[in-house]
Structure 1
Amino acid sequence: MTTTKKYKAPAAEKMLDILELMAKENKYFSVTELSQRLSISSNSVFRIMKELEDKKFIQKNPLDSSYQLTGKLYYLGSSIGNRIALKNIAEASMLLLRDYTRETTLLTKLGSLGRTLVVDQLESLEPIKFLSTVGLEYPSHTSAMGKCLLAFSPPSVLEQYLEHNELTPVTSSSIAHPSRLKEQLEQIRETGYATDMEESCEGLRCLGAPIFNAVGEIEGAIGISGPIFRMSKDHMNRYNKKLLEQARHISELLGYDASRKA
């Protein structure tokens, strides 16, 4: 015990305690709450949070100066991402889709506050391609996969997303009003897939389909992204059939039974 204590690093221990607590609860934390719950002085918590914010491990809510984790911890852990069940199960389908379309194929899950978290990616086989970053969180309302995640999540997820994320248009095609987003999410629930028609980036088109788990809940979304000159509407229609087929296959591997859906 004496040897162990000799090499303890109190500041590092406090930082890890803060990160573990924030990882357990998907919400914003104030400095005061962290101080009280972890019995760490407010001054120490403030200094630690400032360092974590500078390193992009946390983000601040400008309305009340509270904090929540970003996706950076996931990015650091992506080297052991093969332990993630969804990634393992979806691997063969992602490879099939990438080889069939020759476009970048992405696997995503719901991130913090309704944002979209990139879990895995297979690069396009073409020289000109769209690339994302594993561990990146991005706005859900501008992407096909993000809209799938919002469409099939409980209503509270959309409410949380609209509360904490402004529908800032990225391009002239971006959704900029909550009513328009809700209309499109309803359409996605009816068709079972989503599109991104240059809503997240000029010249980029994407398709997204939901993945469900054994209890019928949204587990993630899989998608295809490519430049508009290769993603014509005819190509997208053809790719979408294969995408939906593979999304269903992954869902079934996770134990989802569509016949039990009410």
Structure 2
Amino acid sequence: MPDPGTPADGGDTTGSRRNSSSSLRRALAILLFLAEDHGHPPGTTLAELSTGLQLSKSTVLRLIAPLRDVRLVDQDPESGRYHLGPQNALLGQLYLERLDIRRAVAPFLHELAGRIGETVHLLTFDPPEIVYIDKVESPKPVRMHSRIGSRQPAYCTATGKVFLAHSTDEVFAKVVAEGMPARTSNTITGPERLRAELEAVRRHGYAIDDVENEEGIRCVAAPIFDHRGAVTTAISVSGPASRVTLDRVAEIGGLLVTTTKSISEHLGGAPAPGGAARPGKSVGGAP
């Protein structure tokens, strides 16, 4: 039986294109397989590729040859195992250098703002503060007064809690060392209670600023994971507490998590294997 990845004989150009497309998909499957952790020692054998992709060894060898030619795949001369080649690093670096995060995320922000009806922010982390880098206004009359480029403390904001929940002990200590003064009657002002809050953030996938940073304003936020599994940006939904009620928090949080998961996948990101870094030890549940 002829290999379905081999171009068809004769003048059927449609069949040739279809077979070429099939070969391309299989070649890409090889790259993706080599990129995953299958519990193999460094590199993957021909037999493991054949079994894992359900392709004959001859087909794998045919498909992998051009990948080796352009250094997308390398083969260890001693063990014969295959692994990703250095050209992947170049392509990845070029992608990251040319990535405009605001432009890439903008459609998601507008869709989320339209569904929830409140202001949506895109933020980054510059410990001990969060920084607003994009904003989609609520269509409703009462709006947020935040400005792109402005900053807020991390310890008392939903987005700050998201970043801290996925940060190291050193970052957590830096934020606490800057002080945790009360900004409203609801502000968390002690590091141990903040640790417990961060444990809840990791558990639920989103964070809440329950009128802790600004009187009358409630906020919900969720993380965007980059290609390393780190959280360098996040999205928040903010609005008057009379509209962003506690009864709506779970609904908004769920929509946020769904949206940020889609953004992470769109950008080639994913949560770090085994969970994110956790500052300190949890001392209890959410307050």
- TM-score category, normalised to shorter length: 0.5 to 0.7
Aligned counterpart for 1:89 among listed residues 104, 124, 128 = 104
Give the 3-state SS of the residue equivalent to 1:231 in structure 2.
coil
Give the 3-state SS of the residue equivalent to 1:243 in structure 2.
helix
Tell me if the contact between 2:228 and 2:272 (Cα under 8 Å) persists in the aligned partners.
Answer: no
Aligned counterpart for 2:114 among listed residues 88, 93, 99 = 99
1:110 aligns with 2:128: no
Where structure 2 has 5 or more consecutive residues not aligned to the other structure, the ranges are: 1-97, 276-287
Q: Structure 1 residues 251 and 129, CA, compared in 2 at 3 Å: closer, same or farther?
A: same
Cα distance, 1:259 vs. partner?
8.6
> Distance between the aligned counterparts of 1:168 and 1:116, measured in 2?
16
Give the 3-state SS of the residue equivalent to 1:118 in structure 2.
strand
Alignment of 1:69-218 (within 5 A): 85-111=100-126, 113-163=127-177, 165-218=178-231
> Distance between the aligned counterparts of 1:219 and 1:208, measured in 2?
13
Tell me if the contact between 1:151 and 1:186 (Cα under 8 Å) persists in the aligned partners.
Answer: yes
Structure 1: which 4+ aligned runs deviate by more than 4 Å?
258-262
Show the counterpart of 1:13: none
Give the 3-state SS of the residue equivalent to 1:100 in structure 2.
helix
Tell me if the contact between 1:104 and 1:131 (Cα under 8 Å) persists in the aligned partners.
Answer: no
Show the counterpart of 1:4: none
| Partner amino acid, structure 1, of 2:254 | K
> Distance between the aligned counterparts of 2:211 and 2:238, measured in 1?
10
Q: Structure 1 residues 214 and 207, CA, compared in 2 at 3 Å: closer, same or farther?
A: same
Where structure 1 has 5 or more consecutive residues not aligned to the other structure, the ranges are: 1-82
> Distance between the aligned counterparts of 1:122 and 1:131, measured in 2?
12
Give the 3-state SS of the residue equivalent to 2:141 in structure 1.
coil
Q: Structure 1 residues 261 and 254, CA, compared in 2 at 3 Å: closer, same or farther?
A: farther
| Partner amino acid, structure 2, of 1:193 | Y
Cα distance, 1:86 vs. partner?
2.1
Q: Structure 1 residues 199 and 84, CA, compared in 2 at 3 Å: closer, same or farther?
A: farther
Tell me if the contact between 1:129 and 1:226 (Cα under 8 Å) persists in the aligned partners.
Answer: yes
> Distance between the aligned counterparts of 1:139 and 1:256, measured in 2?
26
Show the counterpart of 1:238: 251
Count the aligned residue pairs: 178
- TM-score, normalised with respect to structure 2: 0.59
Between structure 1 and structure 2, the one with the greater Rg is 2
Tell me if the contact between 1:216 and 1:261 (Cα under 8 Å) persists in the aligned partners.
Answer: no
